[in-house]
Chain A
């Protein structure tokens, strides 16, 4: 029988190439030892940044976990005023880039911002705790990244089925205890995937932490490269980061692998738990506060800033930026989701260790700083171009670069970076398909393609819809890879934000940022219409 054989899926090897190649380039740096720079980093830089990164990871994991799972539980299982509305509105912060929320928050809450200025005018010389600090950074990451956990955990709770919760209740467990004892452990693959994604994004981030002046491991990578002029050391550091993330992913998967998470019956709808009195209004208030901080206030601030510059800055070119952003995001979403689907399907069909490790490694791109990943991909492609160079000349074609400087390179780099985002939601949704269903389909004589088409695609709908949304929005917000690998004339909204913000002109960067948010909202709204029941 084809399915569930231990043979590795060779197609997975091909799909992992866009990640494996840059990883190999990065690993190749170890052939070029740099003891002198390492001695400096070991003594003066690494202790602090490792401590910072670990603390931030802990804080962000806690914050996105509590916010994401908590809000998902409230909107999926409980009933309270405004629930239907909050259920989709709480996804909206996804459209806001981390560096934008950071700049808005710092603009509002720093010493010279309007909040503290008003407080001083009112109460005399008071100061709030500094926003440009690790706490500030953790809060902003939490607000920007919780939707990952929220989206995935909500899927879990909706599809969990009521039987298990009913079983817990017949055993005399109160509902809140059933949440901790039954719902939470049973939805673990979902929220764990969300937290993993949030942590990978946070660890690879450079722009957001720079606004808070918090030095993380990725800050050190950029320092080695751009200030110490040492790309080998930067690559060596990045490979260590990738290794740490690989370990994290492996530990998490090992813990999950020992259990099965298939729902007993998928369509057993739960009756919502009706919240009353204070708890009902409390639930509404919590949702409202999160939405206000993570989305409405920043949106308002961006609008105010944009209105001040729109007459001067808006021109017809913006339609081009918007078009490029849309096209790039849609293309990437298509490519990445197809790759993610194939990876998770192959892993299902060939559950051997080779396939599993290929999949793990191919999703590591999300933890590599974008600029380094694109360099890692650019170097071999430029090399290939140089090899083709005489060939083109021989054919009488103008020897302009053929591969690099095309969309292809940019798409490959974006795919390598965001494969994890396309894969994790799919993998979580995959848990809901039982081996019985697969065997039943096969006993009916369906082939591998047909099983994929007739069984998996429909059942994985929530998975690939969520994955395409996440990838679309991520690419829309992505900056370093787009900057480095884009062909001439392919300026996007994110490139515009870079141009404006590079010199600290955050008010002028507000206009393209606002466009990113508004354009990024389109698929969010689309997805909600598709999944909301």
Chain B
């Protein structure tokens, strides 16, 4: 039986060599924020502090499922993800822990963090109206609700309802307008659609430029990315609902996991990300808005002027995400 024992020990050695050994100076990050947007600032942090960062990226659903299955034995210290809905869900499933940090309280406005301090917004993403500069005058535009009016029939384009950004937008509308009114608006949108909803905001913007649609709703940084390469891109940006409660905003953010092995190290990292020095780095790569109000946005963004954001707490987006999804199903928004 000696060869069996040999095989067994070989297997154990192989397994052990793949095993991760945590040390005090390591912070393990699970991230649903794109690697190329995150890695530069994490590398910088490692360089400045000597802390090793282990990064695992995947989509939100997979990361949360992994956290849930791993339970107490998870290697993750910090969860970074886009959309408050995902952060809300992680907290709801008991994957995060409350964090009392005066630095974060100071750097993150109240509506961009969890009321129970389990997660904190690090960058702000505004979802607003874009229009074809050749077909629409900005004066014709006003609110998200207005896009349901018959005057936009055959002119409106939307991204798929399967994207969490739209689920969050609808969730916020439900909070303000109630379900019945919101459903009526979404039905109006669907009636006005030019074509089947797009898989991403970039192709929607391209369709506006090509003249297929005249108005749409996108996250601003998608337009920003195009403008960096094509300054004459013929789509304009309009800040929605400025006379009402403000433009819908969402966050990318982070929270410390409940079973973190190095919570102190994770706290230092998340505090670092919220500070002025890191913020411009964190948001500029993607042309988002900084969460820290003291930091000025990138110059491309400045051209769009300042706007009034909706101050409802972004946690609402998570709470009502399932309700919003069902509403869009009922209204036939694919």
Contact = CB atoms under 8 A, between A and B. Distances in A.
24 contacts: A106-B203, A112-B203, A112-B210, A112-B212, A130-B195, A132-B198, A132-B199, A212-B199, A213-B199, A226-B164, A228-B322, A371-B62, A382-B71, A389-B73, A400-B19, A401-B19, A403-B15, A404-B69, A406-B19, A483-B59, A484-B66, A488-B56, A500-B36, A504-B222
Contacts of B316: none
Nearest to A399: B73
B325 interface: yes
Contacts of B15: 402-403, 406, 408
Interface residues of B, number: 56
Nearest to A401: B73
Contacts, number: 155
B189 to A, nearest CB: 15
B329 interface: yes
B77 interface: no
B43 interface: no
Nearest to A404: B70
Most chain B CB within 10 A, of A45, A405, A498, A500, is at A405
Chain A interface size, as a band, is 35 or more
Nearest to B28: A488
A35 B59 CA distance: 28
Please name the 9 residue pairs, one residue from A and one from B, whose CB atoms are nearest each other, closest first. Answer: A504-B200, A112-B210, A382-B69, A484-B62, A112-B206, A44-B329, A227-B325, A111-B212, A504-B202
Q: How would you classify the secondary structure of chain B's contact residues: helix, strand, loop or mixed?
A: helix
A210 interface: yes
A321 to B, nearest CB: 12
Contact of A398 (B22, B60, B330): B22
B66 A227 contact: no
Given A213-B199, A229-B89, A382-B71, 13 more contacts: A110-B207, A112-B209, A132-B198, A213-B197, A227-B167, A229-B322, A371-B61, A404-B69, A405-B19, A480-B62, A483-B59, A488-B55, A495-B57
Contacts of B16: 402
A484 B268 CA distance: 27
Nearest to A372: B65
A227 B199 contact: no
Contacts of A401: 19-20, 70, 73-75
Nearest to B210: A112
B138 to A, nearest CB: 22
Nearest to B195: A130
Nearest to B207: A112
B73 A385 contact: yes
Q: How would you classify the secondary structure of chain A's contact residues: helix, strand, loop or mixed?
A: helix
Contact of B162 (A223, A484, A488): A223
Contacts of B329: 40, 44-45
B72 interface: yes
Contacts of B22: 398, 400
A66 interface: no
Contact of B196 (A133, A405, A502): A133
A486 B20 CA distance: 13
B6 interface: no
A523 interface: no
Contact of A483 (B58, B195, B203, B330): B58
Contacts of B201: 504
B44 interface: no
A251 interface: no
Contacts of B34: 499, 502-503
A227 B162 contact: yes
Interface string A197-227: 0000000000000111101000100110111
B325 A504 contact: no
Contacts of A84: none
Contacts of B167: 227
A402 B200 contact: no
A381 B69 CA distance: 9
Interface in B147-172: 160, 162, 164, 167
A502 B197 CA distance: 17
A407 B19 contact: no
A228 B195 contact: no
A303 interface: no
A215 B325 CA distance: 14
Given A227-B321, A503-B34, A504-B203, A386 B73 contact: yes
B75 A400 contact: yes
A236 to B, nearest CB: 16
A226 B200 contact: no
Given A44-B330, A483-B58, A499-B36, A405 B18 contact: yes
